[in-house]
Structures are given as structure tokens and as C-alpha cells.
């Protein structure tokens, strides 16, 4: 079919936006608020331009009952309020940068036409990663409303088994929601843990929670073949699968930009400057397709999060209209629900810091979500990672039933405000027994960090126990005898903290590694033993951290 040239000589500027959802629609609506006359056209190849894609797994599980609840805006509502020209089922085929126009295909009529632009905003998002394995065409992905409609249609036929390939955020969310629909679910993950942003001793909480709710896990086991009713793993094991969902991850959709000769960055996303301009200064890129700048080291990174896409859309609109821009790199704050747990992260994890050779110290705590004497307090696990010299906060992770979200949010805000780890102790946070403690868990992280940086106490990590034992350190467990009887680290000697003074003569070695349940009593015992002339170090996070680590399974 011959291409149709459509051109209207607008006296005002014409801005084209390729792709809607978070970034594209944020740019479009902000542009309209700043300029009542600009001709703004949004071109979206799917059938929906504004929807809550983070809510898609919960529609599969029936938690969100109506599909309409996922649809935030329609072309009609956007035109009524903002006078936006929103064209769904219209795919941009190519960009003619020299003549500043794009070629578009109407996917309903198959007609093709051209549109000129003064400024072009690329917000094509990301595409699901689809591995080249036999039978992969039978698997479904979960990225768009059309994807979720297909999955729900299949789930409504009541399959008995499902395999989710991929144990990232989307993988664990869709696994949970398939369980809600009464389906037997198995998760296949090539790595040795779920949720890669977590460190291994934190990820075990997620595995335990999923197993507790009936999800079978296959870790360190990639999928090699998808059959008519099964999935065959790389180790040769065959598992039943009437339904197969791919949740391996996403990759930036750069095909349109790449074909137009726009520069692609080191992370295979569209390279942009601080104003989200591409190598063509009249073309911007935002959202999952665009590379971001990492706050910790300034490197290029890919962070497919809706809040970042929304902010980038606003940045672009402001820049086009000559407004000042605040330059904000990303720290990658994210949260996910897994059955009864909330899991949140911000900044770098320890795995990445070790790989980069960046000096760091980690501390673990297991505080209650609110005052322990107030009913229904829930224990959580927090991990804080910081620079051992400057106290700069490098990252944090949290897992728990309640209260994790606000603690990670506070730490993420501290990172943005360049508050150091010891200074967390100084934060004046809202306190009443139903909501927190007089020493909030975030404050306690600050106190511990201050003790570590000042050299008041030496802490040892769960994966360093064998190293210290090989150096001649004796392991002293200062919990009560009843706690010790329920489980202990191999080789530990039990001397309760309240008996340390009276029984110190029983300790024959000078070098001691102290542990309690969560680290607090161990800290007290360590300082006391140092006063008594011993060389004592405290096991960070205590027995509880160790018992959720890979080291526990090795024993």
C-alpha cells in the first residue's frame, strides 16, 4: 500500500510522542499544562494508552476484579481534559530525522501516513526477553493489557499446572496470583536465588515464603525446552505445565531509534543526556527504553520503574518549554509483595559492590514493625550497606510482613539527601506504639553504623564465621539455654549474657566471636568481654541472619 502523506501547517509547535503508559502520558499531559497551544500527538501501537501495568499480575489472580480498574485514561478522556490527539493502534514504522517526520501505520485500517514534528519523544518501553529455546512460542508474556487478557482467558479454563520461567519481580508476583486461582505453580530460575536485587541471605526469606504457600522452586535450573504439556529443565527434569509464562526480564525497545541512527548506549538502551535528549537534540527518549545515570558511580544503568518514567516525562516537557531542570540520577528503589511478605530494596546490593571492588560494610537487624508491647508487632529483617570510612549509604534491603516499606523509603530519602549511615540515628521519625518504637528501626541502623565506623565494636558477617574460626576464634553463644537448644551454630559454646561476668574464667581462648539471636545481646556481651580483657567481635545479625543464609544450608 502506498504511503499517505498527511501534513498540516501548524503555526504552533507539533510534538509527537511515541508510546503512552507512564512516561509518554506524563510527558503529554505536562506539555499541555505548560503550553495550551502546542499540537501534541500520542502514537501508541497497542489498544490502550494509559494503564496500570504494575497491576496486571493482580488482575490474573482476581485481586483486581475488573479490567476497567487497570485502565487509567482513554483517548477520549485525554482529549476531553487535555485536548491531546491520542491515536491507539497506530505504530510508528520509521523516523526521517533529516526531514523531521515519522512514518505511521494505522493497525486497524493498515493505512500508512506521515507526520511532521518539531520535537519527538520516544517512549516505546521495553520488550519481554524471550529465550531461543524449542517450543517457546507456546509461552505467554505479561507486559500489556492484551497480554493479561490472553493469560486470564487461559486461566479461566482452569488449567491445573503452570510453570513460571523467571524468578524476578514479575515472576514471583504472577506465581502468587496463579496460586490464588488454584493452580499448581512451579518457578524455574537459572540463578541460585529469587529476586536478583537481594543478597542471598535476604532472598532465602522469599523462597521460604513461596514454598510455604505451595510454590515449587527450581533454582540454578534453566529451561531447555517447552513441550505441549511440560517444561524440560537444563538438568533433564521434566515438569508438568499446561500454562507457561515467561518472566525472565525485559530489554529496552530500541529498534525504532537504532534504525534512525540514534546512538545506543553501553547498556543497550537509548543513550540520553541529563535532559533526556538523544544524540539528535530534537528527539528525546524516556522510560524503560532510555538509559539512566546511576547515583552511586555515575555509570549508565537500566531501571524499568514507572516512577522514574513518570519523572522523565516531566523533565522532557519542562525542557521543551524552557523550564529549569533538576538533575537527578537513579538509586533504583523498588518493592514487591510475595504472599504475606513485602520485599524492598534501594541502592546497590552487596553482590554488586563486591564485583565492583567498592569498600563497604553491611549490618543486619531484626526489629519489630512497631513497639513490641503493643499487640501484633511483626518482626522484619533490614540490611544496610555503607562506606566504612565516610558512612555514605550505598544500599539497603528489607523483608517483612509489615513496616518494611516506610523504612526503605526513609533510607532511600536519606541516600538522596546525602545523609550518612550514622546520621540515621539523628532522624526524628513519627513515633507512637501502634506505628513504631522510640528508637525506630532506622534509628537503630544509625546507632549500629556509628558503633562500627567509630571502632567501638568489630562485627563479623555470616559468611566470615569459618574464616574467624580458622584464625583461632572461639564461638560463644550468649542466648539463653532454651534458645540454644533450639538450634545453634556448629561449635558454639553457650554462656548466657547474664552469666558472662561470673563464668568468664571458663573461657580459655582470648579471641572470641560472639553471637546471640539478632545481634543486640551479642553487642552487650562483646563490649563486656572486651572490658574483661578478651579480643571479642560480634556476629552481625546474630543466629537469625546466619540461619537464613546459604551457610546454614551447608551445615
Give 371-395 pLDDT, tens digit per residue.
999 999 999 999 999 999 999 999 9
> Residue 53: which of 38, 43, 64 has the closest Cα?
64
**Whole-number pLDDT of residue 384:** 98
**Whole-number pLDDT of residue 69:** 87
Residue with cell 545481634: 519
**Whole-number pLDDT of residue 551:** 81
More confident residue, 143 or 7: 143
**Whole-number pLDDT of residue 499:** 97
How do residues 298-327 score in pLDDT, each as one tens digit? 999 999 889 999 999 999 999 999 999 998
Which CATH fold topology does 4-125+251-320 show? FAD/NAD(P)-binding domain (3.50.50)
Distances (CA, A) of 198 to 147, 384, 448, 461: 28, 12, 21, 16
Q: Say yes or no: do domains 4-125+251-320 and 136-248 share a fold.
A: yes
pTM for this model (two decimals):
0.93
**Whole-number pLDDT of residue 254:** 97
**Whole-number pLDDT of residue 72:** 85
Percentage of residues in the chain with pLDDT exceeding 70? Answer: 98
Point out the catalytic residue in the list 34, 54, 196, 303: 54
Percentage of residues in the chain with pLDDT exceeding 90? Answer: 92
- Kind and range of the H or E run holding 289: none
- For the chain, the average pLDDT equals 94
**Whole-number pLDDT of residue 132:** 94
Is the per-residue pLDDT at 264 higher than 70? yes
Q: Are 373 and 364 in contact (CB under 8 A)?
A: no
Instruction: Give the C-alpha separation, 271 to 285, whole Å.
Output: 8
Banded model confidence at residue 70, pLDDT cuts 50, 70, 90: confident
Q: Are 248 and 143 in contact (CB under 8 A)?
A: no
Is the per-residue pLDDT at 334 higher than 90? yes
Name the burial class of residue 52, with classes exposed (0-12), middle (13-18) and buried (19+) by CB atoms within 10 angstroms of its CB: middle
Instruction: Give the C-alpha separation, 525 to 519, whole Å.
Output: 10
Instruction: Give the C-alpha separation, 54 to 51, whole Å.
Output: 9
Question: Is 516 one of the annotated active-site residues of the chain?
Answer: no
Is the per-residue pLDDT at 5 higher than 80? no
How do residues 410-466 score in pLDDT, each as one tens digit? 999 999 999 999 999 999 999 999 999 999 999 999 999 999 999 999 999 999 999
Assigned architecture for domain 136-248 = 3-Layer(bba) Sandwich (3.50)
More confident residue, 15 or 54: 15
Residue with cell 501484633: 376
- Kind and range of the H or E run holding 417: none
**Whole-number pLDDT of residue 4:** 41
Is the per-residue pLDDT at 42 higher than 80? yes
Provide the residue ranges of all domains of the chain, joining segments of one domain with +.
4-125+251-320, 136-248, 340-454, 459-554
How do residues 476-526 score in pLDDT, each as one tens digit? 999 999 999 999 999 999 999 999 999 999 999 999 999 999 999 999 999
Report the top-level CATH class of 340-454: alpha beta
Cell of residue 449, nine digits:
553504623
Q: DSSP of 213-281, one letter per residue?
A: TT-EEEET--EEEE-SSEEEETTS-EEE-SEEEE-S-EEE--HHHHHTTPPB-TTSSB---TT-B-SST
**Whole-number pLDDT of residue 11:** 47
Banded model confidence at residue 12, pLDDT cuts 50, 70, 90: low
**Whole-number pLDDT of residue 223:** 96
Cα R_g (the chain), whole angstroms: 27
Residues 452, 385, 378, CA angle at the centre, nearest 5°? 95
Banded model confidence at residue 555, pLDDT cuts 50, 70, 90: low
Report the top-level CATH class of 459-554: alpha beta
**Whole-number pLDDT of residue 2:** 39
Is the per-residue pLDDT at 335 higher than 90? yes
Amino acid at each position: 500500500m502506498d504511503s499517505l502523506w498527511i501534513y498540516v501547517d501548524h503555526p504552533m509547535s507539533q510534538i509527537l510522542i511515541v508510546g503512552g503508559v507512564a512516561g509518554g502520558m506524563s510527558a503529554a499531559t505536562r506539555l499541555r499544562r505548560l503550553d495550551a497551544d502546542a499540537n501534541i500527538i500520542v502514537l501508541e501501537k497497542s489498544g490502550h494508552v494509559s494503564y496500570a501495568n504494575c497491576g496486571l499480575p493482580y488482575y490474573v489472580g482476581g485481586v483486581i476484579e475488573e479490567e476497567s480498574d487497570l485502565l487509567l485514561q482513554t483517548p477520549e478522556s485525554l482529549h476531553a481534559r487535555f485536548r491531546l490527539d491520542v491515536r491507539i493502534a497506530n505504530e510508528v514504522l520509521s523516523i526521517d530525522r533529516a526531514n523531521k517526520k515519522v512514518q505511521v501505520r494505522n493497525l486497524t485500517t493498515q493505512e500508512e501516513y506521515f507526520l511532521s514534528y518539531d520535537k519527538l519523544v520516544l517512549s516505546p518501553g521495553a520488550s519481554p526477553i524471550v529465550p531461543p529455546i524449542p517450543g517457546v512460542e507456546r509461552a505467554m508474556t505479561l507486559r500489556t493489557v492484551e497480554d493479561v487478557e490472553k493469560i486470564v482467558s487461559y486461566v479461566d479454563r482452569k488449567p491445573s499446572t503452570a510453570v513460571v520461567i523467571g524468578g524476578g519481580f514479575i515472576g514471583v508476583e504472577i506465581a502468587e496470583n496463579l496460586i490464588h486461582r488454584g493452580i499448581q505453580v512451579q518457578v524455574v530460575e537459572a540463578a541460585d536465588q529469587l529476586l536478583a536485587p537481594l543478597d542471598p541471605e535476604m532472598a532465602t526469606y522469599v523462597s521460604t515464603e513461596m514454598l510455604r504457600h505451595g510454590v515449587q522452586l527450581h533454582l540454578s535450573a534453566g529451561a531447555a525446552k517447552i513441550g505441549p504439556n511440560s517444561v524440560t529443565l537444563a538438568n533433564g527434569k521434566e515438569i508438568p505445565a499446561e500454562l507457561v509464562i515467561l518472566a525472565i526480564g525485559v530489554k529496552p525497545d530500541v529498534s525504532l531509534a537504532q534504525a534512525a541512527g540514534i546512538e545506543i548506549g553501553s547498556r543497550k538502551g537509548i543513550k540520553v543526556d541529563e535532559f533526556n535528549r538523544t544524540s539528535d537534540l530534537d528527539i528525546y527518549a524516556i522510560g524503560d527504553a532510555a538509559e539512566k545515570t546511576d547515583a552511586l558511580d555515575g555509570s549508565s544503568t537500566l531501571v524499568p520503574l514507572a516512577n522514574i518514567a513518570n519523572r522523565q516525562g516531566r523533565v522532557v516537557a519542562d525542557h521543551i518549554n524552557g523550564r529549569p531542570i533538576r538533575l537527578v540520577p537513579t538509586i533504583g528503589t523498588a518493592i514487591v509483595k510475595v504472599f504475606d511478605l513485602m520485599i524492598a530494596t534501594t541502592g546497590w546490593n552487596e553482590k554488586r559492590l563486591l564485583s565492583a571492588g567498592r569498600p563497604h560494610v553491611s549490618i543486619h537487624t531484626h526489629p519489630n514493625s512497631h513497639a513490641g508491647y503493643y499487640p501484633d508487632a511483626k518482626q522484619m529483617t533490614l540490611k544496610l550497606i555503607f562506606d566504612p570510612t565516610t558512612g555514605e549509604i550505598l544500599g539497603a534491603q528489607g523483608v517483612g510482613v509489615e513496616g518494611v516499606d516506610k523504612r526503605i523509603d526513609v533510607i532511600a530519602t536519606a541516600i538522596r539527601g546525602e545523609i550518612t549511615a550514622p546520621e540515621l540515628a539523628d532522624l526524628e521519625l513519627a513515633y507512637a506504639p501502634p506505628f513504631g518504637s522510640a528508637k525506630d528501626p532506622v534509628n537503630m541502623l544509625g546507632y549500629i553504623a556509628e558503633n562500627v565506623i567509630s571502632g567501638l565494636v568489630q562485627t563479623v558477617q555470616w559468611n566470615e564465621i569459618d574464616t574467624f574460626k580458622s584464625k583461632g576464634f572461639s564461638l560463644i553463644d550468649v542466648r539463653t539455654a532454651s534458645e540454644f537448644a533450639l538450634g545453634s551454630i556448629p561449635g558454639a559454646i553457650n554462656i548466657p549474657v547474664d552469666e558472662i561476668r561470673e563464668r568468664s574464667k571458663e573461657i580459655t581462648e582470648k579471641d572470641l566471636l560472639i553471637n546471640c539471636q539478632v545481634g543486640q545481646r551479642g553487642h552487650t556481651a562483646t563490649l563486656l568481654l572486651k572490658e574483661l580483657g578478651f579480643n571479642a567481635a560480634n556476629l552481625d545479625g546474630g543466629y537469625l541472619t546466619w540461619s537464613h543464609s546459604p551457610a546454614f544450608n551447608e551445615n
